[in-house]
Amino acid sequence: MRSNRSFDTLTNYTYITNQQYTSMSLWVPFIGLLIAIALSFGIWFAAPKQDQTVWRSTGILTVAMIFLMWAITYLAQLNPLVVPRRSDLRPEF
Amino acid sequence: MTLIELFIPIEISRDTVYDLGNVGNIQFRDLNSKVNAFQRSFVKEIKRLDNVQRQYRFFKNEIEDREIEIFENPDFDVSQEEISASGIDELVEEGQLLEDRLKQLLESTDTLEIRKKDLLQLRHTLIESNDIFQKKSPDAVASAHDLIVDEASLNKSFVTGVIPRTKSIILEKILWRVLRGNLFFERREIEEPIYDAKTKKTIAKDYFIVFSHGYQIIERIKKISESLDAELYDVDSDNDGRYAVLTETNRNLADLNTVLDSTVKTLESELTIIADSLFKWYSLIQREKSVYEILNFFDYDVNRKTLIGEGWIPTAEIEGVKNILLNNSQGLQSVLNVLETTRTPPTYHKTNKFTDAFQNLCDAYGVAQYKEVNAGLPTIVTFPFMFAIMFGDLGHGFILTCAAASLVYFEKSIARIKRDEIFDMAFSGRYILLLMGIFSMVTGFMYNDLFSKSMTIFESAWEWPEHEVGETIFAVKKDFTYAIGLDPAWHGTENALLFTNSYKMKLSILMGFIHMSYSYMFSLVNYVHFKSMIDIIGNFIPGLLFMQAIFGYLSICIVYKWSINWIEIGKPAPGLLNMLISMFLSPGTVADPLYPHQAQVQVFLLTIALICVPCLLLIKPMYYKRKLDKEAEYKQLHGSEEAALESAHGNGGDDDDEEGHGEEFGDIMIHQVIHTIEFCLNTVSHTASYLRLWALSLAHAQLSTVLWTMTIQGAFGATGVVGVISTVFLFGMWFVLTVIILVIMEGTSAMLHSLRLHWVESMSKFFVGGGKLYEPFNFKGLLTEFESIA
């Protein structure tokens, strides 16, 4: 990563000039978090009476893990420092 | 868990314990642990039952020798079969009768077989000798023929018999040497192999006849051949005599065969009947035996009329046991007492078929201390998910899910069939596999990997500019971010690895940190439950601060760095690794600032972390030091009385009573020093250990890309017959290798890594272990496989 920074920052200058974007996307993970919390509450109350603890812990943990996974993936792409680069694309694409 | 005491009158003890075994929720303590196994109360009964079991094993061997199928019902429900003590007596008697009868039958079959073998061999000897004597032989026999006829008519100068084929050549060679070639030896193979009742095998045998001169020499030949396991038969040199014997032999043989047949038939029908109920009998006896083994744990009261037992039972189930005692009372009263005790109860985690495998996963590392947080519960999700982070591929996850789902779907029928070791492991972990598969599909979706290909489900956030063929182009980011998962635009780009590398590394650090913090919180739950304030202050809080000040800070920095648009601000994005290193090596100076006042914040955090180390090291030992000093003061004042009381008390108790023995200050100090060093080092090394998530997921993605390009990609674009064949072949190759290498091999390795992350990185944060497993006396599982009886 570090070793490539100089190269990537070089390439990035080309795209600073034509990009202006808001930080609206930053709120998306928080919305996701709210959804995850809501889902967790839903699971807490919807868990069947038999083996309630197992249902609750498993369900809420699953939601939490999936939320984390999604949020990390989303955040990593929010403000990319690297830009996809390829030289094998045909003109149609 | 409650320790209970049972007073059961001897008369009804067997029935009561039998019923308790059916319910199966008491773990009895051995109250006679000092008593030798042979001196216990119910040795006689156990010996009797052992003898019956020995008989059953004997039946089983005989049945298997005759290849009769043993009726083995896997659904055989023990609790359905109630059997009284008199029923057991009947079984014992029946077992003895059957054994006697079988032994008799077997003995007579053996004698008959030996007799039959004898007759058969005699018959062969007679037929072959006849052949030789009458033969007008053309070649080598010719010279001997005169000798035969002359000598044979004078006196018997030949030896005939039957010898195992392997030894017939040896016999010939030995005789040749001993008699210096002065003999005539003829050997013929007997076509049918002959059954030997002693070894219970069929042996290929040869007929032989030796002619020679002189009485003494004949005797020597006889001795030599007998020493080589030959069986010799007298054969009349006279034709008529031989015929007479042959007819006689044939008749005897026919008679013998009829007798033998009927004996064997009786034996087999007897065994078939036994085979039908042998499994049931064996389990009944096995249960009876276990009842007496439990009764051996019991103590007698003073009058030797009541048995006293102690055992652990889940507190909620005491009422059920009371009912059992009532139902079995028969006019005699059994009593149940709840005991107060300082002993640590066994650990009991109620499991069902879903949680069982996960519980076993944790129990394999260590059994939780009584009332400690059960590591098995969070493992249900975290274990498969950590696996899935390393195994993220929608396609591979789907294959795994299908395999696991079929195991789950057919679990009833698979549970019945016999499974080999590896398959049994997969079967018992089927719910783990299922979750692993499902979560792999989730992470595969996040990684946007489907057999190493990407899916464009949402609109890509990158746009490719106008370009020529072969021109190097850079994508342009649109105003939003790809909604769920990795943007498909990265797929196939030259610098895709550069991005996923950074992404997955940070992912694994964040996941690892969160997993460890989550696990660390369980230690708080433990301390609160055991009301150990000193552990919260002296262990939990300093540890938490230390961990958060370093890696919590790093995690926040990672997220913060992501959330800033560095290009817009026009500043170079600082490297976080360098930042963390320089935070320790040169506190107070920041080369590439991430945010304002960074230097001060870092110095502050570093100070907290450094202060936490002596806190972790000293608070707990100092607390105990003060406590011990106070106790010593107290003892000095009341010393004499206390000591007297203790010595009087100490002798009365049971040996395995656990007393709160005071630890020395030195022990506590050393323990805490080790804990401190271990904790601080582990904070770093365990975080680094989570980087395996990064390494394995990258390796998995790369491997599946390589497999795709090496195999099936080569088939695309090929046309004609060759194209068809190569497509089919390469697809097959790709699929088989995907399953074997990517799903099975990579899956196993990812699973082991995930297991390590749980056992070491997660469980070391809170798990004390050292508990004893709750193993109640229960008839279920007493005899799972009939195989085990042999």
- Convert B252-300 into a string of H (helix), E (strand) and C (coil): HHHHHHHHHHHHHHHHHHHHHHHHHHHHHHHHHHHHHHHHHHHHCCCEE
Mean pLDDT of B177-200: 80
Are residues B484 and A22, on separate chains, in Cβ contact within 8 Å?
A: no
Residue B30 confidence (pLDDT) above 70 = yes
Are residues A76 and B502, on separate chains, in Cβ contact within 8 Å?
A: yes
CB < 8 Å to B495, chain A: 82-85
Residue ranges of alpha helices (H) inside B530-552 are: 533-535, 541-547
Amino acid of residue B562: W
Angstrom distance (rounded) from CA B462 to CA A85: 11
CB < 8 Å to A54, chain B: 352, 354-355, 377, 380
Q: What is the ipTM of this complex?
A: 0.81
Residue B593's closest CA among B578, B610, B609?
B578
Mean pLDDT of B519-547: 93
DSSP one-letter string for B331-353: TS--EEEEEP--SPPPB-----T
**Residue B639: strand, helix, or coil:** helix
pLDDT category of residue B275 using cuts at 50, 70 and 90 = confident
Whether A18 contacts chain B with CB within 8 A: yes
Measured torsion, CA atoms of residues B278, B280, B282, B287, in degrees rounded to the nearest 10: -170
Are residues B389 and A70, on separate chains, in Cβ contact within 8 Å?
A: no
Q: What is the pLDDT of residue B207?
A: 85
Are residues B566 and A15, on separate chains, in Cβ contact within 8 Å?
A: no
Judged by CB atoms within 8 Å, which residues 500-559 of B form the interface with A? 501-503, 506-507, 510-511, 514, 559
Q: How far does B580 lie from chain A, in Å, by closest CA?
A: 14
Q: What is the pLDDT of residue B508?
A: 95
Residue of B382, B389, B487 with shortest CB distance to A61: B382
- 10 Å Cβ neighbour count for B422? 8
Whether A52 contacts chain B with CB within 8 A: no
Are residues B572 and A5, on separate chains, in Cβ contact within 8 Å?
A: yes
B545 CB-side CA count, 13 A = 19
Q: What is the pLDDT of residue A7?
A: 45
Q: How far does B496 lie from chain A, in Å, by closest CA?
A: 7
CB < 8 Å to A51, chain B: 352, 355
pLDDT category of residue B81 using cuts at 50, 70 and 90 = low
pLDDT category of residue B435 using cuts at 50, 70 and 90 = very high
DSSP one-letter string for B24-52: --BEEE-TTTTS-GGGSTTHHHHHHHHHH
Whether A25 contacts chain B with CB within 8 A: yes
Residue with tokens 């984390």: A68
CB < 8 Å to A81, chain B: 566-567, 573
Mutation pick from B460, B481, B507, B579 vs chain A, by most beta carbons of A within 10 Å, is B481
For residue B233, list its beta bridge partners.
B160
**Residue B8: strand, helix, or coil:** strand
Q: How many helices (H) and strands (E) does chain B have?
A: 25, 14
Judged by CB atoms within 8 Å, which residues 420-439 of B form the interface with A? 439
Q: How far does B495 lie from chain A, in Å, by closest CA?
A: 6
Mean of all residue pLDDT scores within chain B: 84
Phi, psi of B206 (to 5 degrees): -120, 145
pLDDT category of residue B157 using cuts at 50, 70 and 90 = confident
Judged by CB atoms within 8 Å, which residues 53-82 of A form the interface with B? 53-54, 57-58, 61-62, 65-66, 68-70, 72-82
Q: How far does A57 lie from chain B, in Å, by closest CA?
A: 7
- 10 Å Cβ neighbour count for A41? 11
Q: What is the pLDDT of residue B63?
A: 83
B379, closest residue in chain A (CA to CA): A58
pLDDT per residue as tens digits for the range B653-662 = 444 444 455 5
Angstrom distance (rounded) from CA B84 to CA B15: 8
Q: What is the pLDDT of residue B433?
A: 95
CB < 8 Å to A33, chain B: none
Q: Which strands sit side by side in the sheet containing B205-211, from one edge to the other? A: B184-189, B205-211, B158-164, B231-233
Judged by CB atoms within 8 Å, which residues 596-655 of B form the interface with A? none
Q: What is the pLDDT of residue B477?
A: 86
Residue A61's closest CA among A90, A30, A35, A40?
A40
Whether A35 contacts chain B with CB within 8 A: no
CA of residue B402 relative to chain centroid, distance: 24
pLDDT per residue as tens digits for the range B585-631 = 988 888 888 888 999 999 999 999 999 999 999 999 999 889 888 88
Q: What is the pLDDT of residue A17?
A: 39
Angle between helices A52-76 and A28-46 (to 10 degrees): 170
Whether A6 contacts chain B with CB within 8 A: no
Angstrom distance (rounded) from CA B521 to CA B119: 85
Residue B432 confidence (pLDDT) above 90 = yes
For residue B212, list its beta bridge partners.
none
Residue B41's closest CA among B339, B313, B309?
B309
Q: What is the model's pTM?
A: 0.76
- 10 Å Cβ neighbour count for B573? 21
CB < 8 Å to B564, chain A: 79
Lowest mean pLDDT across A16-30, B61-75, B666-680, B763-777? A16-30
Whether B497 contacts chain A with CB within 8 A: no
Element (H, E) at B311: strand B306-313
Q: What is the pLDDT of residue A18?
A: 40
DSSP one-letter string for A5-22: HHHHHHHHHHHHTT----
pLDDT per residue as tens digits for the range B383-427 = 999 999 999 999 999 999 999 999 999 988 888 887 888 888 889
Element (H, E) at B707: helix B691-710
Angstrom distance (rounded) from CA B349 to CA B359: 8
Q: How far does A47 lie from chain B, in Å, by closest CA?
A: 15
Angstrom distance (rounded) from CA B512 to CA B389: 11
Mean pLDDT of B135-143: 50
* B687 within 8 A of B714, measured Cβ to Cβ: no
Q: How far does B491 lie from chain A, in Å, by closest CA?
A: 9
* B136 within 8 A of B128, measured Cβ to Cβ: no
B426: CB partners within 8 A, 6+ apart: B407, B433
Q: Which residue has the higher pLDDT, B509 or B306?
A: B509
Q: What is the pLDDT of residue B289?
A: 84
> Domains of chain B by range and CATH?
1-41+296-346 (3.30.70.240), 111-255 (3.30.70.2750), 356-454+491-639+654-765 (no CATH)
Q: What is the pLDDT of residue B80?
A: 58
Whether B465 contacts chain A with CB within 8 A: no
pLDDT per residue as tens digits for the range B221-242 = 888 888 888 888 877 777 777 7
Whether A49 contacts chain B with CB within 8 A: no
Amino acid of residue A40: S
Phi, psi of B188 (to 5 degrees): -135, 145
Are residues A84 and B490, on separate chains, in Cβ contact within 8 Å?
A: yes
Q: What is the pLDDT of residue B118?
A: 86
Q: What is the pLDDT of residue A4?
A: 44
Whether A26 contacts chain B with CB within 8 A: yes
Q: How far does B293 lie from chain A, in Å, by closest CA?
A: 34
Residue ranges of alpha helices (H) inside B651-690 are: 665-689
Quote the radius of gyration of chain B (alpha carbons, Å): 42
Residue of A9, A76, A80 with shortest CB distance to B506: A76
CB < 8 Å to B592, chain A: none
CB < 8 Å to B482, chain A: 74, 77
State both tokens at B28: 């009895």
Are residues A80 and B477, on separate chains, in Cβ contact within 8 Å?
A: yes
Q: How far does A38 lie from chain B, in Å, by closest CA?
A: 19
Mean of all residue pLDDT scores within chain A: 78
pLDDT category of residue B663 using cuts at 50, 70 and 90 = low
Lowest mean pLDDT across B188-192, B264-268, B501-505? B188-192
Residue of B446, B495, B559 with shortest CB distance to A82: B495
Q: How far does A37 lie from chain B, in Å, by closest CA?
A: 17
CB < 8 Å to A22, chain B: 479
Q: Which residue has the higher pLDDT, B65 or B579?
A: B579
Residue B441's closest CA among B385, B481, B492, B514?
B385
Residue A22 confidence (pLDDT) above 80 = no
Are residues B473 and A86, on separate chains, in Cβ contact within 8 Å?
A: yes
Mean pLDDT of B746-757: 95
Strand bridging mode B158-164 / B205-211: antiparallel
Mean pLDDT of B110-123: 86
pLDDT per residue as tens digits for the range B753-780 = 999 999 999 999 988 888 888 888 877 7
Mean pLDDT of A27-49: 93
Q: What is the length of chain B?
A: 790
Residue B175 confidence (pLDDT) above 80 = yes
Handedness of CA B105, B111, B117, B119 (dihedral sign): negative
CA of residue B397 relative to chain centroid, distance: 26
A68, closest residue in chain B (CA to CA): B511
Element (H, E) at B196: strand B194-196
Are residues A26 and B352, on separate chains, in Cβ contact within 8 Å?
A: no
Q: What is the pLDDT of residue B748?
A: 94
Mean pLDDT of B635-641: 66
Lowest mean pLDDT across A16-30, B7-21, B117-131, B132-146? B132-146
Lowest mean pLDDT across B91-95, B454-458, B487-491? B91-95
Q: Where are the domains of chain A?
A: 25-78
CA A91 to each of CA A25, A86, B469: distance values in angstroms, whole numbers, following the listed order: 31, 12, 6
pLDDT category of residue B79 using cuts at 50, 70 and 90 = low
State both tokens at B300: 């007698």
Are residues A14 and B474, on separate chains, in Cβ contact within 8 Å?
A: yes
Are residues A81 and B474, on separate chains, in Cβ contact within 8 Å?
A: no
A42: left (phi over 0), alpha (psi -120 to 50) or beta: alpha
The DSSP secondary-structure symbol of B136 reads -
Q: What is the pLDDT of residue B38?
A: 79
Residue B697's closest CA among B393, B395, B474, B420?
B393
Are residues B510 and A72, on separate chains, in Cβ contact within 8 Å?
A: yes
Q: Which residue has the higher pLDDT, A61 or B590?
A: A61
CA of residue A92 relative to chain centroid, distance: 30
Q: How far does A76 lie from chain B, in Å, by closest CA?
A: 6
Q: How far does B354 lie from chain A, in Å, by closest CA?
A: 10
